[in-house]
Amino acid sequence: MSYKFFPHTDDEMRAMLNTAGVKSLDDLYQDVPQELQLKKEYELPEAMSEIEVRRFFDGLGMGNITMRTFLGAGYYDHYSPAVVQDILKRSEFLTAYTPYQAEISQGTLMYIFEYQSMMAELTGMEVSNASMYDGTTATAEAMMMAVANAKKRNRVLVSETISPYVLRVIKTYAKFHGIQIDMVPANDGVMCHNCLKAELEKEDVAGVIVATPNFYGILEDYTGVADLCHEHKALLIMHCVATALSVVKTPAEWGADIAVGDGQSLGIPLNYGGPYVGFLCTTKKLIRKMPGRIVGATKDADGKRAFVLTLQAREQHIRREKATSNICSNQSLMALYVTIYMGLMGAKGLKEVNEISYSNAHYLAEGLVKTGLFEMAYPDKPFLNEFAVKTKLDIDKLQEYCNEEYLQCGLKIADDTLLIAVTETYSREDCDDLIDACVTFNEEQEGK
Amino acid sequence: MSKIIDGLYYSESHEYVKVEGDFGFIGITDYAQHELGNVVYVDMPEVDDEVTAGEEFGAVESVKAASDLMCPVSGTVVEVNEALEDEPGLINKDAFENWIIKVELSDKSELDNLMDAAAYKAMIGE
Amino acid sequence: MNNTFYGKLIFELSQNGRQGYSLPENRCAEYKMSDLPKGLMRENAPLLPEVDELSVVRHYTNMSNNNFGVDTGFYPLGSCTMKYNPKINEEIAAHREFTGLHPLQNTETTQGALAVYYFLQTSLAEISGLSEFTLNPYAGAHGELTGLMIMRGYHMERGDVKRTKVIIPDSAHGTNPASSAVCGLDVVVVKSRPDGTVDVDDLRPLLDDTIAGMMMTNPNTLGIFEHNIGEIAKAVHDCGGLMYYDGANLNPMLGKVRPGDIGFDIMHINLHKTFSTPHGGGGPGSGPVGVRAGLEHLLPNPRVVKVEEEDYDYFKLECSDKSIGSISGHLGNFGVMMRALAYILTLGRDQLKWVGPLATLNANYIKESLKDVYELPIGGVCKHEFVYDGLKDKSTGVTTLDVAKRLLDYGFHAPTIYFPLLFHEALMVEPTENESKQTLDEFIRIMRVIAQEAKDDPEMVKTAPHNTPVRRLDDTQAALHPIVTWRELVAEAE
């Protein structure tokens, strides 16, 4: 036997079997009852050489169409600096486990500390955990954290303006965790504050989940919401788009207790849905209720500054069923991704990203409205780089048409409504192409 | 050899109650703090919370372990030891001096279900 | 090599006015972000570093030098299956025809990606002897939670609502009870026998109509195959419960045993263990969940479904009301699936079957080679891993922690320590099939050297490591006064 991933020569194998006190590899399974052993070959393809593996994926890749995308809905095609991908390939980072042995894991521990620092800055919150799977599950964790904190309350209110993709996940967690979710209605694309007040006054709410920017791209005004929640002993959880936080009012400034969301917008490639990185930041007061890993600064035996996993007594390997969460890892490599990204971009770069995205999005919105084929769904509401438009066009057919032009025109969120996002990756010409495609599509439709 | 004080009541989960009139001071025993190691955090209830005998009222954490605090008696919390918030290690210095909560006892007969010093000493095998 | 910047944080390299990026000119600058209402904008910019590109590259390159990975050296971390992460996987995962796909793109334009999902899903089903997998869960613990939701969902849809307890062996991974709690299930612990396997006599009285099911790792966390699994599964099934297989220890089963064939109804697999995707310092992982026939409808939304037409097949996404619901943003960590599929194709049917036996051979070889100096509490053949209960000679006062730390000095990663909890000085070793006899022999030699050092110079071992970038850390101080951000670190210094 001689394969590239199995270094055992026949001679070595004989010697090792001898030491192990058995005659054959089969004997190593003498404790497994015969009737439980697999007696057939796997019905899988034969081993492929590297050339064949490449050809296989090249072939499948032809079934995909990568396009200029005006799709957002929480996941954005932002610029990703070459440095990030390159450093992520360093196998000392890539092939390490969770940093249990701190003495030989200072690399991982240090970048997680940087990550926590940067996410705390971005959200304005005091502390951050070491990252979570993604934005949807981070929101679910925040919801459970609010319920655990409230002790005897199990109702959580969720604004209707939150992403449906987040909502469907937290609903699943809630169903099994025994949490009652009730929606706070929205008017004209923003949460109804009076409706929230009425629900809070029932004095049984553990937490309230709102979004900034919200699913429609709108920057909602949350003045007074945090005070209202706290008056009624509920935590305010704010779901955010990470990149936007460098310029828009932060969860901390709104008075939120927990900030969550997906870090994908910090330059992570779309990658068909993952891996991304979830963030969860909170106040120092709630740090011991926080799920997930946390890295802290300390000193080593020589008094040198060093970093270590800390507050582990909250975690599953110690507390088992009483842990704050079942999470026993973080999305470490993706946390490194956004850390390097933020290191390169700095506050100034992030602001520029938002400025260009803002300008492009407003240029596109105005251009689309000018065609007469679209109108703004929420005309008087402020937005950053994502907006909803209403149209009489057949959106399904428009999407098909645009796909043929290697364009994705946005997400259909109602029969007559399209959600469109623009980032700094795209230019004025790209926006013009989309506008032209809509006009041509309409002409072709009318010509029929 | 752990310190055990006569005249206190002890639970199987290593809490003690020191009774003064209608009130009980509840903490963990010297044996328990020794087993746990350096205490880094004490999770305590709030004043006015109701506690019930046999139920959890908080937790003590060391770096590598955590232990739930089980209430040996029922009653209302009238005071929590705030000094432990800043310096949880006080429990390691003197577990009996540094009680965790002071409770107004609702049913003194519950004390009969607890051990005296001799019985506790026998239980921990010292 | 560490340069003089070692130990600095990126914040400490910052100089006002430096820049590490380039962006195109704003060509729609007539639309100004500053027109947004002031009350909706943040007051102060975030305190992020200002660094040039080369400084960033050197900073993280040096940082990586203070890390130990599988590519650095032998990583016998029990329960974690630190096998080699093939380079072809990384190349495939970076394929540009896949990385640019938006998760909400029309499925007509993502057929290649859906084919990857489907092909991996069906391959895992074949390897596990189960009917269908979801690849949506992001990690092992997430898979456990998803699997338990399916278990509970199965009872709920039959109106059997009183089944709210799950049985878990005392030797189980801590995630098992934690996932159960998140899923709203109460944990009932079943004891182990002295040989580490489940005590069937302790199990039987626990079985009644409140039991939703039982979670098991097989081989268990001591590396021992639960040979009574047939009897256990039958007893749990007879009482109406389902059997859950924690796939953390699937590696030694490859080629030899399929969980679906030995009585398990639901399982998760850690692609980052058994299927060679990198651990990434803690993630991203992937925790696919498989179910036996009859439970497929409960799998989370969305599901990737193959539609067979007369002249061609295609894939689509399906959401169903019968499902437990969604547990992830979209289809999970797609990039990780690309790697796992590349691995399965590289090994194929003819090599995958050697993974289990060779991993098991490596574990038994170490186990037998050191049992004269390290305490081996459980004899007989182990599977992919085994546990020593510390040094045989306990008189030196040198603990498992000390041995682990001393190993770092010799350039090896430490085994898993103080788990499972059944032994006081647990030292859990898992080699994996990729390690050569030379590597194992060197590890064995060093473990002997350390055992000797424990006798000759115990103080030196107790203060190890001595040659690592930092020495033993004060984790009490870290937990007493948590400093978790740069801002707090600066405040502390002042």
CB atoms within 10 A of CB B2: 16
Q: Quote the number of domains for chain B.
A: 1
Residues A225 and A171 in one domain: yes
User: What pTM value is reported for the model?
Assistant: 0.95
**C chain contacts of residue B40, beta-carbon cutoff 8 Å:** 476, 479-480
**Position A311 confidence tier, pLDDT thresholds 50, 70, 90:** confident
The pLDDT tens digits of the residues spanning A26-72 come to 999 999 999 999 999 999 999 999 999 999 999 999 999 999 999 99
- The verdict on a CB contact (< 8 Å) between C348 and A118 is no
Residues A72 and A193 in one domain: no
Residues A156 and A120 in one domain: yes
Q: What is the CA radius of gyration of chain C?
A: 26
A295-299/A305-309 β-pairing: antiparallel
Q: How far apart are CA A386 and CA A216, in angstroms?
A: 7
Residues A250 and A157 in one domain: yes
Check CB contact of C256 with chain A, cutoff 8 Å: yes
Residues A101 and A178 in one domain: yes
**Position B126 confidence tier, pLDDT thresholds 50, 70, 90:** low
Q: Mean pLDDT, to the nearest integer, of C328-347?
A: 98
Which domains does chain C possess?
Answer: 10-64 (no CATH), 88-346 (3.40.640.10), 353-477 (3.90.1150.10)
Give residue A205's pLDDT.
98
Q: Is the pLDDT of residue C4 over 50?
A: no
Residues A133 and A195 in one domain: yes
Residues 310-369 (C) with a CB less than 8 A from some CB of A: 324-336, 338, 342, 344-354, 357-358, 360-362, 364-365, 367-369
Give residue A46's pLDDT.
96
Picking from A340, A374, A400, the residue at the C-terminal end of a domain is A340
The pLDDT tens digits of the residues spanning C127-160 come to 999 999 999 999 999 999 999 999 999 999 999 9
The pLDDT tens digits of the residues spanning C441-494 come to 999 999 999 999 999 999 999 999 999 999 999 989 999 899 999 999 999 988
Residues 452-491 (C) with a CB less than 8 A from some CB of B: 475-476, 479-480
- The verdict on a CB contact (< 8 Å) between A333 and C283 is yes
| Alpha helices (H) in A82-231, listed in sequence order | 82-88, 91-94, 106-123, 135-150, 164-177, 193-200, 225-231
Q: What's the domain range around B47?
A: 9-123
Q: Is residue B1 part of a domain?
A: no
CB within 8 Å of A268: residues ≥ 6 apart: A80, A275, A276, A277, A334, A337, A338, A341
CATH number of the domain where residue A273 is located? 3.40.640.10
Q: What's the domain range around A250?
A: 82-340
Q: Mean pLDDT, to the nearest integer, of A279-286?
A: 96
Q: Is the pLDDT of residue A313 over 50?
A: yes
**Position C77 confidence tier, pLDDT thresholds 50, 70, 90:** very high
Q: Is the pLDDT of residue A448 over 70?
A: no
Residue keyed to tokens 């305190």: C47
Optimal mutation site among B63, B84, B85, interface C, most CBs of chain C within 10 A: B63
**B chain contacts of residue C418, beta-carbon cutoff 8 Å:** 64
Q: Is residue B77 part of a domain?
A: yes
CB within 8 Å of C163: residues ≥ 6 apart: C152, C155, C209, C210, C211, C212, C240, C241
Spatial CA neighbour of C403 closest among C427, C422, C375: C427
Q: Is the pLDDT of residue A230 over 90?
A: yes
Helix pair angle (C437-456, A10-20), 10° resolution? 40
At A271, list the tokens: 């990658």
Residues A409 and A299 in one domain: no
Residues 77-106 (C) with a CB less than 8 A from some CB of A: 77, 80, 82, 84-86, 88, 90-92, 94-106
Which of B6-10, B29-33, B118-122, C31-35 reaches the highest mean pLDDT? Answer: C31-35
Q: Which residue of C has its CA nearest to B88?
A: C480
CB within 8 Å of C486: residues ≥ 6 apart: A113, A114, A117, C9, C11, C47
**B chain contacts of residue C475, beta-carbon cutoff 8 Å:** 63
**C chain contacts of residue A97, beta-carbon cutoff 8 Å:** 75, 77, 80, 82, 279, 281-282, 413
Residues 308-327 (A) with a CB less than 8 A from some CB of B: 312-314, 318-319, 322
For residue C266, what are the β-bridge partners? C244, C291
Check CB contact of B40 with chain C, cutoff 8 Å: yes
Q: Is the pLDDT of residue A322 over 90?
A: no
Region of A64 on the Ramachandran plot (φ > 0 left; ψ -120 to 50 alpha; else beta): beta
Size of interface A-B (CB pairs under 8 A): 20
Q: Is the pLDDT of residue C347 over 70?
A: yes
Q: Is the pLDDT of residue A146 over 50?
A: yes
The pLDDT tens digits of the residues spanning C232-248 come to 999 999 999 999 999 99
CB within 8 Å of A153: residues ≥ 6 apart: A147, A204, A205, A206, A233, A234
Q: Is residue A190 part of a domain?
A: yes
Q: Is residue A401 part of a domain?
A: yes
Q: Quote the number of domains for chain A.
A: 3
Q: Which residue of C has its CA nearest to A137?
A: C328
Q: Is the pLDDT of residue C19 over 70?
A: yes
The pLDDT tens digits of the residues spanning A247-270 come to 999 999 999 999 999 999 999 999
Spatial CA neighbour of C445 closest among C407, C415, C418: C407
Q: Which residue of C has its CA nearest to B87?
A: C480
E strand residue ranges, A232-349: 235-241, 258-262, 278-282, 295-299, 305-309
- The verdict on a CB contact (< 8 Å) between C334 and A344 is no
* Amino acid identity at A372: G
Q: Is residue A271 within 8 Å of residue C63, measured between CB atoms?
A: no
Q: Mean pLDDT, to the nearest integer, of C392-404?
A: 96
Residues A72 and A47 in one domain: no
Proportion of chain C above pLDDT 70, given as a percent: 99
Q: Rounded mean pLDDT of chain C? A: 95
**Position A1 confidence tier, pLDDT thresholds 50, 70, 90:** low
**Position C3 confidence tier, pLDDT thresholds 50, 70, 90:** very low
Q: Is the pLDDT of residue B87 over 80?
A: yes
**C chain contacts of residue A166, beta-carbon cutoff 8 Å:** 329
Residues A242 and A366 in one domain: no
Residues A174 and A274 in one domain: yes
Q: Is the pLDDT of residue A151 over 90?
A: no
Q: Is residue B69 part of a domain?
A: yes
Question: Chains near C, with 3+ CB pairs < 8 A?
Answer: A, B
Q: Is residue A129 within 8 Å of residue A292, measured between CB atoms?
A: yes
CATH number of the domain where residue B52 is located? 2.40.50.100
Proportion of chain C above pLDDT 90, given as a percent: 92
**A chain contacts of residue C91, beta-carbon cutoff 8 Å:** 54
Long-range contacts of A13-21 (CB under 8 A, 24+ apart): A13/C361, A15/C437, A16/C361, A16/C362, A16/C364, A16/C365, A16/C437, A17/C361, A19/C365, A19/C368, A19/C369, A20/C361, A20/C364, A20/C365, A20/C367, A20/C368, A20/C381, A21/C364, A21/C368
Q: Is residue A147 part of a domain?
A: yes
Residues A158 and A188 in one domain: yes
What is the distance, to the nearest Å, from the Cα of residue C151 to the centroid of all Cα atoms in its chain? Answer: 22
E strand residue ranges, C161-264: 165-169, 186-190, 211-216, 242-246
For residue B24, what are the β-bridge partners? B19, B103
Q: Mean pLDDT, to the nearest integer, of C258-276?
A: 97
Q: Rounded mean pLDDT of chain A? A: 95
CATH number of the domain where residue A428 is located? 3.90.1150.10
Give residue A5's pLDDT.
95
The pLDDT tens digits of the residues spanning B7-19 come to 999 999 999 999 9
Edge to edge, the sheet with strand B101-105 lists: B9-10, B15-20, B23-28, B101-105, B75-80, B50-51
Q: Mean pLDDT, to the nearest integer, of A97-109?
A: 95
Residues A351 and A283 in one domain: no
Give residue C32's pLDDT.
97
Give residue A11's pLDDT.
96
Chain A closest-CA separation from residue C408 CA (Å)? 7
- The verdict on a CB contact (< 8 Å) between C476 and B63 is yes
Q: Is residue C135 within 8 Å of residue C128, measured between CB atoms?
A: no
Question: Chains near B, with 3+ CB pairs < 8 A?
Answer: A, C
Q: Is the pLDDT of residue A319 over 90?
A: no
The complex scores an ipTM of 0.97
Check CB contact of B27 with chain C, cutoff 8 Å: no
